[in-house]
């Protein structure tokens, strides 16, 4: 009796990558290019800076989990809520014991 085979998509839960980088990383490369282009109109110098930034990102992100860059941006720019409610004095006494 032959077993039935089911077609499975192995990388369905992974992030789409272009040139090995996720979208936020590519956006960072574009911003670096625009920043360098403001100071230098030399195309070869700009491409060299972009290539260096690309290889640095690839080395830096090696071994990091997927969505790492998006998680860092979310953490840095997330609004934080700090309660202005005072603690109850009895709760503080209970914690000191």
Range of the domain at 25: 16-62
| The pair of three-digit structure tokens given for residue 40, joined into one six-digit string | 């230098």
Assess contact for 21 and 13: CB atoms under 8 A. no
pTM: 0.59
If one counts the domains in the chain, the total is: 1
User: Within 10 Å of residue 22's Cβ, how many Cβ atoms?
Assistant: 20
pLDDT in tens, the chain (97 residues): 677 887 777 666 666 677 778 888 889 899 998 999 898 888 898 889 999 999 998 898 888 887 888 888 888 888 877 766 666 666 666 555 5
Report if residue 9 sits inside a domain.
Answer: no
Report if residue 77 sits inside a domain.
Answer: no
Report if residue 5 sits inside a domain.
Answer: no
Report if residue 94 sits inside a domain.
Answer: no
Which pLDDT score, from 0 to 100, does residue 12 have?
A: 62
Report if residue 96 sits inside a domain.
Answer: no
Nearest to 56 by CA among 8, 20, 91: 20
Question: Per-residue DSSP letters for 21-64?
Answer: B-HHHHHHHHHHHHHHHHH---HHHHHHHHHHHHHHHHHHTTTP
């Amino acid at each position: 009796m032959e077993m039935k085979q089911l077609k499975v998509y192995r990388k369905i839960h992974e992030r789409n990558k272009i040139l090995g980088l996720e979208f936020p990383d590519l956006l960072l490369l574009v911003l670096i290019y625009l920043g360098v282009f403001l100071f230098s109109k030399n195309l070869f110098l700009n491409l060299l800076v972009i290539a260096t930034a690309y290889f640095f990102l690839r080395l830096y992100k090696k071994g990091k989990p997927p969505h790492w860059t998006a998680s860092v941006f979310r953490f840095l720019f997330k609004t934080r809520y700090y309660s202005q409610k005072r603690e109850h004095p009895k709760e503080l006494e209970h914690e000191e014991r």
